[in-house]
Chain A
């Protein structure tokens, strides 16, 4: 049913339909609306779940870890410092091969403390063994949760998944969202039947010590599984389309006006909506521009990206995160896609924008397209304030 909902409410509605038995979270802006909504659903008896109010994100992640290990579907959400505080547990969850879904309401990292949006938090956890999806809009954020549960709990996968949605822009924005019925969701997402669980009827030991004779293979196994994830996402996306009518194609990337494009921006998350509008406006003027939206950042769909961009002469990669002291995180992947390839874009420029909630406007996007006319640039920051740099840093 179509409803006009806040992003957080939409996520809460879809999570409710996924029937988690245990929810645990710790307050942090801008994630809190999601779990507040869920707490109310539990309080109203609309959702049969244990809602555990913990004393930290570290414990929130640990509680859901324990719940999934006991064979019960679980959910948590966080942002920014909260995600970093969970980091140790998140690596542990993937190492234990526990499927779990976490919403990351993307927010900048301190210092300086800043509650506004960028993607530094989740991008910093790209190596944690979690599947990572980035949503462009509220509908997509809601849908990706459903895909994430279905994917992670597949017996051939058994990995946790993080649905990343830009803080405020998507968590606090409102859109008309199509929320499926319980019956439709139940057909798409069967009840959670783990391969292994903590159960006195069949005692087993989880989380053992693996010495150098055994550890390496555990990491290899996850790496191999991510190949399966890459194959599984398009299949589940197809099934999703057939059942719910929304077509995310392969579910890995979205190609927007790329087929004959001369210039394409590669980006993740809500900024893709802004870029699409600029693309539409420029296309109307006859300019051959396009967008490649990355939905699945982990696993990274190198083959899809190669296929989508190899014939496009000029590429701009827009990162809403930095890897201080090195090339930008998304730019690294795009450049790696084409390293040593015969057919590749002539130019891959890398731009940083929107950190700490600085608006990425139509003008910012247009500027990036304009800058693609010049020679390749790396790590160019968009929308810097020269007067502030001079005043504060003497640059």
Chain B
């Protein structure tokens, strides 16, 4: 069989880059009949350094914050060309008997994926993303969440977790690091009344692909946020990327959830592990290890997630 991947090896990502793993899984699940619009960020830089490209699908990068808007223009052009179903509005917030069926994409549709990092999505690109979600474009938006501006040297973003050591939230005698918890992007996306919102993790590759395929089967805007460890910024060994990603899920700090038509329809159940297991393998949390008070606060964030999304496996279940 000919090996012609849609995201080719030989790019310049760091060893152990979680984003590179996830980006490959996403495009392989979406298939070759897809146009990708990429925000500025690590993925764009390491995959398209002229005169080389890792992409086997049509791909465009414009700016840091406008992938969702450029993708909206791509989709509008595809509608004009008859290669995307007309935008008859998104499914209603309250699902009806029709919305599941009426939301199906046309057979000859060209998929559109807009993607970017957490900064390009949750901070500088939030306005463009909100516009795309609100207008009902038939686009999957993928946020590769490595929880900081890794490309510019590990600065804090709106998706940096509480107490993280980044270059702009360094711990010191008067600071424990980043003072705010993560911006609740999945909930923000869901509040737009779109048909599909999900989180995924580089630690669970099949789950990423299942969610991408599911998203592609639904007409309208979709939001998928994928947790992607960054060995450079998180300061763990490159061989631990998938391990670290799994621990984030298994501690309850990164719940894997799915919203369909505004309702929470699925979560990945866990037998919660203590958050220390996740924190201790990463240099970005090293300053917390002798600080039980702070670890307690982080455990409280995990516990709140576990309760909110009912993540805990029932006793006796597997």
Which residues of A pack against B, CB within 8 Å? 21-22, 24, 48-50, 52-56, 58-59, 62-72, 74, 88-89, 92, 96, 198-200, 202-211, 214
Q: A58-B69, A62-B128, A205-B55 are in contact. Are A69 and B135 (CB under 8 A)?
A: no
> How distant is B241 from chain A, measured CB to nearest CB, in Å?
24
- Interface size class on chain B is 35 or more
Segment 1-52 of B: residues with Cβ below 8 Å from A: 32-35, 37-38, 44-45, 48-51
> How distant is B160 from chain A, measured CB to nearest CB, in Å?
24
Measured CA separation A55–B38 after assembly (Å) = 19
CB-CB nearest in chain B for A215:
B50
Which residues of B pack against A, CB within 8 Å? 32-35, 37-38, 44-45, 48-51, 53, 55-63, 65-66, 68-81, 87, 110, 127-128, 130-131, 134-135
Measured CA separation A202–B55 after assembly (Å) = 12
Report whether A199 and B58 are in contact in the complex, using a CB–CB cutoff of 8 Å: yes
Q: A52-B72, A205-B53 are in contact. Are A65 and B58 (CB under 8 A)?
A: no
> How distant is A262 from chain B, measured CB to nearest CB, in Å?
51
> How distant is B8 from chain A, measured CB to nearest CB, in Å?
11
Report whether B69 and A50 are in contact in the complex, using a CB–CB cutoff of 8 Å: no
Measured CA separation A179–B223 after assembly (Å) = 45
Report whether B49 and A66 are in contact in the complex, using a CB–CB cutoff of 8 Å: no
Report whether B63 and A92 are in contact in the complex, using a CB–CB cutoff of 8 Å: yes
> How distant is B57 from chain A, measured CB to nearest CB, in Å?
5
Report whether B59 and A54 are in contact in the complex, using a CB–CB cutoff of 8 Å: no
Report whether A56 and B59 are in contact in the complex, using a CB–CB cutoff of 8 Å: no
Report whether B70 and A72 are in contact in the complex, using a CB–CB cutoff of 8 Å: no
Residues from chain B with Cβ under 8 Å of A211 in the complex: 49-50
Measured CA separation A64–B131 after assembly (Å) = 15
Leading 6 A-B pairs by shortest Cβ distance:
A66-B73, A62-B69, A70-B77, A63-B73, A207-B61, A55-B131
> How distant is B38 from chain A, measured CB to nearest CB, in Å?
8
CB-CB nearest in chain A for B65:
A58
Report whether B32 and A50 are in contact in the complex, using a CB–CB cutoff of 8 Å: no
* Residue of B33, B66, B75 with most chain A CB atoms under a 10 A cut-off: B66
Report whether B128 and A59 are in contact in the complex, using a CB–CB cutoff of 8 Å: yes
Report whether A50 and B128 are in contact in the complex, using a CB–CB cutoff of 8 Å: no
Residues from chain A with Cβ under 8 Å of B78 in the complex: 70
CB-CB nearest in chain A for B73:
A66
> How distant is A73 from chain B, measured CB to nearest CB, in Å?
9
Report whether A214 and B59 are in contact in the complex, using a CB–CB cutoff of 8 Å: no
CB-CB nearest in chain B for A26:
B131
Residues from chain B with Cβ under 8 Å of A59 in the complex: 66, 68-69, 72, 127-128, 131
Report whether B81 and A206 are in contact in the complex, using a CB–CB cutoff of 8 Å: no
Measured CA separation A74–B66 after assembly (Å) = 17
